[in-house]
Amino acid sequence: MLRLPSDLADGATVVAAVSGGADSVALLGMLAGCGRYRVVCWHLDHQLRAASSDDAAFVAELAAKLSVPFVGEAADVRAAMRGDGLEEAARRVRYALLTAACQRLGASAACTAHHRDDQAETALLQILRGCGPEGPGGIAAERALAPGVRLLRPLLHAGRTDLVAWCRSNDFAWREDASNADPAFSRNRLRHHVLPEWERRCPGIGEALAGMAEQGGRTRQAAMTRAAGIIGTGSAPVAALQTLDAEARAAAWRGLCAQFGIPADRGRLRRLDDLLHGAPGRRLRLGPWLLLRRARLLTWAVEPGRK
């Protein structure tokens, strides 16, 4: 069931990010069972639940059962929030610590257990939030995590039911995170309420959304190539931006928002387009950043006294 790149060398150190849920337990079991790599089990305790230390103990025991080295870490995710919400803070902390762990261990790759259902949820979230003309980008099967370290999602083609079935047929237990059922989180509402209802009314919609995300990802990558090199560290040429097609321009704006550390939602993309095509002298504030439309350049800087 694993789909790993053919150029991942035999004997390479591969870090598996394991939460203890069925999907990541299946990931670790498959990686350990294939016998091609030096697999390290990595677990992060987000310290968001009273029982989170029990999850860490469960994953450590699983790693021992599989004769796989275990690396456990903990982080106070709530303390790391910077106005970006709990889910985004957890993601940011998780990938930062995973990157550091891979670099310490000399790993060639890290694997996460994202699957097709995650892909469908991500596509729907992006559509609802406003994904721009290129469509939802979804979750990439591979991207760079750090220089010399690849982030792989070898189960992205499989559904959660497939992974649960694999765990059951191979006698692997797993733990259910109660927070995954909390409807306060947007993704949980989609997972437990919206998508199941849509699937009943329109069978196959989850797979269709996942396919849309994969196609959107390819479209975004091509758009990023066309927009490459236009956005600088403090300015961009107006003429070059105006000659880009809508998809490439959206890719440029996404790169700019990433530079600013703010989400690139539909409203911000539209406001940036309006600024670009407006008269010289117009201004736009995005968070602490002030953008100015000059005659030949679009410039930006943090406003004095804001950060």
CATH code for position 285: 3.30.465
Looking at the fold, whether 193 and 74 belong to one and the same domain comes out as yes
**Quick one: tokens of 16?**
């598996």
Choice among 170-174, 184-188, 268-272, 278-282 with the minimum mean pLDDT: 184-188
**Is 1 a member of any domain?**
no
Map tokens 């870490």 to a residue. 73
What confidence score (pLDDT) does residue 114 get?
95
Give the span between the Cα atoms of 284 and 81, in whole angstroms.
Answer: 26
Sign, CA torsion 200/204/206/208: negative
Looking at the fold, whether 132 and 26 belong to one and the same domain comes out as yes
What confidence score (pLDDT) does residue 306 get?
63
Looking at the fold, whether 192 and 241 belong to one and the same domain comes out as no
Choice among 4-13, 35-44, 79-88 with the minimum mean pLDDT: 79-88
Looking at the fold, whether 67 and 167 belong to one and the same domain comes out as yes
Looking at the fold, whether 145 and 104 belong to one and the same domain comes out as yes
Last residue within a domain, chosen from 198, 215, 240: 198
Question: Could you tell me the pLDDT band of residue 182, with boundaries at 50, 70 and 90?
Answer: low
**Is 205 a member of any domain?**
no
**Is 168 a member of any domain?**
yes
**Quick one: tokens of 132?**
């721009």
**Quick one: tokens of 225?**
């190539």
CA terminus-to-terminus distance, the chain: 47
* Sheet containing strand 13-17, strands side by side: 70-74, 38-45, 13-17, 109-111, 149-152, 142-146
Q: Looking at residues 179-193, what average pLDDT do you find?
A: 71
Choice among 9-13, 179-183, 193-197 with the minimum mean pLDDT: 179-183
CA distances from 139 to 122, 125, 242 (A): 7, 12, 29
Q: How many domains does the chain divide into?
A: 2
What confidence score (pLDDT) does residue 181 get?
61
CA distances from 265 to 89, 132, 253, 285 (A): 18, 8, 10, 15
Give the span between the Cα atoms of 127 and 121, in whole angstroms.
Answer: 10
**Is 216 a member of any domain?**
no
Last residue within a domain, chosen from 148, 180, 198: 198
**Is 154 a member of any domain?**
yes
Q: Looking at residues 186-204, what average pLDDT do you find?
A: 82
What confidence score (pLDDT) does residue 301 get?
94
Map tokens 């060639």 to a residue. 108
Choice among 167-171, 247-251, 303-307 with the minimum mean pLDDT: 303-307
**Is 217 a member of any domain?**
no
Looking at the fold, whether 178 and 90 belong to one and the same domain comes out as yes
Looking at the fold, whether 271 and 142 belong to one and the same domain comes out as no
Give the structural domain span for 260: 228-302
Q: Looking at residues 134-140, what average pLDDT do you find?
A: 75
**Is 218 a member of any domain?**
no
Looking at the fold, whether 276 and 160 belong to one and the same domain comes out as no
Give the span between the Cα atoms of 292 and 285, in whole angstroms.
Answer: 9
What confidence score (pLDDT) does residue 123 get?
86
Give the span between the Cα atoms of 68 and 181, in whole angstroms.
Answer: 30
Give the span between the Cα atoms of 179 and 21, in whole angstroms.
Answer: 12
Return the CATH number at 181: 3.40.50.620
**Is 268 a member of any domain?**
yes
**Average model confidence (pLDDT) across the chain:** 89
Looking at the fold, whether 126 and 29 belong to one and the same domain comes out as yes
Looking at the fold, whether 31 and 102 belong to one and the same domain comes out as yes
Write the single-letter amino acid at 99.
T
Q: Looking at residues 158-185, what average pLDDT do you find?
A: 85
| Residues with Cβ within 8 Å of residue 162, at least 6 apart in sequence | 1, 115
What confidence score (pLDDT) does residue 307 get?
57
Looking at the fold, whether 132 and 275 belong to one and the same domain comes out as no
Looking at the fold, whether 155 and 239 belong to one and the same domain comes out as no
Residue 178 has pLDDT above 70, yes or no: no
Render the burial of 211-221: b for 16+ CB within 10 Å, e for the rest: bbbbbbbebbe
Of the chain, the percentage scoring pLDDT greater than 70 comes to 93
pTM (predicted TM-score): 0.75
CA distances from 190 to 25, 54, 86, 227 (A): 23, 27, 17, 33
